[in-house]
Amino acid sequence: MALMKRVFLFLTVNIAVVLTISILVNLLGIQPYISARGIDYGALLAMCALWGFAGSFISLQLSRWMAKRAMGVELIDPERPGGAEERFLVERVRSLCQRAGIEVLPEIGVYQSPEVNAFATGPSKNRALVAVSTGLLQRMDHQAVEGVLGHEISHVANGDMVTMTLVQGVVNTFVMFFARVLAFAIDNALSSRDSDRRGEGLGRFGHFMMVMLLETVLMLLASPIIYWVSRKREFRADAGSAKLTSRQTMIHALESLAGARVGATQAAPAVATMMIHGEPRGLWAKLYSSHPPLEARVAALRDGVIE
């Protein structure tokens, strides 16, 4: 149930972004795609792409701020770390960033949670945040923590937040596009059903509500695409950590996570796809899971499937 709660929150945020954009477009009366001859599909697609990608990139720019507040992250001053654990985190992150070719040290933080997890987020390689849970620090040894940090630094080095933003922008674009095409078709079908109602159709408010409903449904149906890309990025980040540290270090980290799990990730939607692990169970959960099973990730590293 915890995983499904996280999935619900992630989908809710994505749907909310699209619906907010649609409400704004409607209030501003921006409908350059409708003419006396019907829909101009090129103009509609251009408008949907503009607003769909705008929403995704706004979320990306706010990702660090949202993550810090949603997760209660306490930042570590890299020049004056408070204790042995903080010094270890700063030294490891700095070393891994140098190996990964990241010039600017990410913000480093810790958040209070019994879960054994970590995440990375941020709009670019040089404006990133890497955070670990107190549960991870308490229940994992330094080798495992290094593997986890390598995984998160790989997310940063690979530009995975930008990749996921682009994917979300594409999904937003086509969700908005097809919702309007279908709403227009339904409107025309209703208005032409009998001569007494010709020209009325759904009405302006009804048309708007139909677009909202269709966007919600289409976003739910399209979200597995986002999660599929996320799962692929997890395998790549594991491989990246294996190169930054060692294959055995990353395998040890994943096996330690498997042995220390205390429940599914209770991550904020803004960072759920950049966490180190989740717990997909069952077909429905797998379709809407941002992470592959830990066992599959260990097997991929052992078999050298991801290089």
pLDDT at 14: 66
Q: Does residue 283 carry a pLDDT above 90?
A: no
Structure token pair of residue 92: 């490891």
Contact by Cβ (8 Å): 196, 211: no
> Is residue 74 annotated as part of the catalytic site, yes or no?
no
| Residue from 29, 21, 7 nearest 215 by CA | 21
Q: What integer is the mean pLDDT of 191-217? A: 73
Q: Is the pTM of this model over 0.75?
A: yes
Q: Which amino acid is at 36?
A: A
287: left (phi over 0), alpha (psi -120 to 50) or beta: alpha
Q: Which residue has the higher pLDDT, 221 or 283?
A: 221
> Residue 6: pLDDT band by 50, 70, 90 thresholds?
very low
Whether the pLDDT of residue 291 is over 50: the answer is yes
Across the range 280-296, mean pLDDT stands at: 77
- CA-to-CA distance for 175 and 165, rounded, in angstroms? 15
Residues 26-45 have pLDDT tens digits of 666 666 676 657 788 888 89
Token pair in block for residue 23:
């409400």
Query: What's the whole-number average pLDDT of the chain?
Result: 83
Considering Cα of 25, then 28, then 32, then 37, what sign does the dihedral take? Answer: positive
Q: What is the mean pLDDT of residues 105-113?
A: 95
For the ranges 4-8, 14-18, 172-176, the lowest mean pLDDT is seen at 4-8
- Determine the Cα–Cα distance for residues 42 and 181; give it in Å rounded to an integer: 12
Is residue 196 scored above 80 in pLDDT? Answer: no
φ, ψ for residue 237, nearest 5 deg: -65, -35
Active-site entry in 86, 107, 115, 152: 152
Q: Which residues face 108 on adjacent strands?
A: 130
- Judge contact between 206 and 191, C-beta under 8 A: no
Q: What digits encode the pLDDT tens for the residues 34-89?
A: 665 778 888 889 888 988 898 888 888 888 988 898 889 999 999 988 889 999 99
pLDDT of residue 235: 94
